[in-house]
């Protein structure tokens, strides 16, 4: 298996280089950041590298989950799993809020954006946040609930409703061949991304441990995801854009 050894020898220096020259989010030391997710496990499956880097950088991170993940009727189980997972990632359960509203339930539909944006804004103001992070317009997997989180933040941004100096960053959706290229996506991400966050070996093990807390979701293809998804190894983010159609009614 000499070719596997060759691949490892090639990827290790690339990993070392990218890790040491990653472009972190410009959030001040001691800043406060709100991560908005749609479902329990989003924080680990997609945002793990970013969360761990923020915590390492002394940023106080809060997590707002819009749903309990109750699509299969196990919302209470998934709430507990999320609490355990964020503690595994290094956050206190006091920094977690999980909403449970009928109009914003886990499912294949987009949510009503203007009301959702007001709910998110209330949390950002109450927590006195310097930054917020969520999905981009592709929602990583195309899930309508993920996309709704983006649209709610974009509505606030486009209409000038965000607190002064609050920055909004979105996690980039990539082509499917990149999404499942594992650690090999370090190279295109390095050249194409505005902000570029790379997991250390320790961070990867922490993400795996956090994902184990979501035991109700550990079907066979999730194990493949943990091996092949680039979102375990690297996050690329950018600032949220304006959108001329996302205006107040």
pLDDT tens track for 84-102: 999 999 999 999 999 999 8
pLDDT at 13 over 60: yes
pLDDT of residue 8: 65
Domain annotation covers residue 235: yes
Domain annotation covers residue 79: yes
pLDDT of residue 11: 84
pLDDT tens track for 151-181: 999 999 999 999 988 999 999 999 999 999 9
Domain annotation covers residue 9: no
pLDDT at 146 over 80: yes
Confidence of residue 248 (pLDDT cuts 50, 70, 90): low
Instruction: Give percent of the chain with pLDDT exceeding 90.
Output: 88
Confidence of residue 122 (pLDDT cuts 50, 70, 90): very high
Question: Is residue 114 within 8 Å of residue 122, measured between CB atoms?
Answer: no
CATH number for the domain spanning 213: value is 3.40.50.10320
Number of domains in the chain: 1
| Integer Cα distance of 137 and 143 in angstroms | 10
- Please give the average per-residue pLDDT across 23-48, as a whole number: 97
Domain annotation covers residue 211: yes
Domain annotation covers residue 181: yes
| Integer Cα distance of 80 and 247 in angstroms | 37
pLDDT of residue 3: 63
Domain annotation covers residue 60: yes
Q: Distances in Å between the alpha carbon of 75 and those of 79, 80, 188?
A: 6, 9, 37
Domain annotation covers residue 93: yes
Locate tokens 């990827």: which residue?
11
Confidence of residue 10 (pLDDT cuts 50, 70, 90): confident
pLDDT of residue 243: 65
Confidence of residue 63 (pLDDT cuts 50, 70, 90): very high
Domain annotation covers residue 226: yes
Locate tokens 């983010």: which residue?
237
Question: Is residue 140 within 8 Å of residue 225, measured between CB atoms?
Answer: no
Question: Is residue 17 within 8 Å of residue 59, measured between CB atoms?
Answer: no
- pTM of the predicted model, to two decimals? 0.94
What burial class does residue 204 get, using C-beta atoms within 10 Å of its C-beta: 0-12 exposed, 13-18 middle, 19+ buried? middle
Domain boundaries, position 102: 28-239
């Amino acid at each position: 298996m000499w070719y596997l050894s060759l691949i490892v020898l090639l990827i290790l220096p690339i990993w070392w280089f990218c890790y040491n020259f990653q472009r972190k989010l410009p959030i001040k030391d001691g800043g406060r950041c709100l991560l908005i997710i749609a479902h329990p496990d989003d924080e680990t499956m997609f945002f793990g590298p970013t969360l761990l880097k923020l915590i390492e950088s002394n940023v106080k991170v809060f997590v707002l989950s819009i749903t309990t993940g109750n699509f299969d009727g196990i919302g209470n189980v998934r709430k507990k799993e999320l609490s355990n997972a964020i503690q595994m990632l290094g956050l206190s359960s006091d920094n977690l809020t999980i909403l449970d509203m009928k109009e914003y339930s886990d499912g294949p539909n987009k949510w009503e954006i203007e009301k959702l944006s007001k709910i998110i804004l209330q949390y950002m103001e109450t927590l006195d946040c310097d930054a917020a992070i969520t999905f981009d317009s592709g929602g990583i997997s195309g899930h309508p609930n993920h996309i709704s989180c983006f649209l709610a933040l974009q509505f606030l941004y486009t209409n000038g409703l965000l607190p002064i100096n609050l920055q909004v960053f979105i996690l980039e959706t990539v082509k499917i061949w990149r999404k499942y290229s594992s650690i090999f996506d370090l190279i295109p991400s390095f050249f194409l991304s505005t902000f570029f966050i790379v997991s250390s070996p320790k961070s990867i093990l922490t993400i795996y441990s956090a994902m184990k807390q979501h035991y109700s979701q550990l079907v066979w293809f999730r194990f493949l995801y943990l091996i092949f998804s680039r979102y375990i190894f690297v996050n690329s983010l950018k600032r949220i854009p304006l959108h001329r159609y996302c205006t107040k009614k």
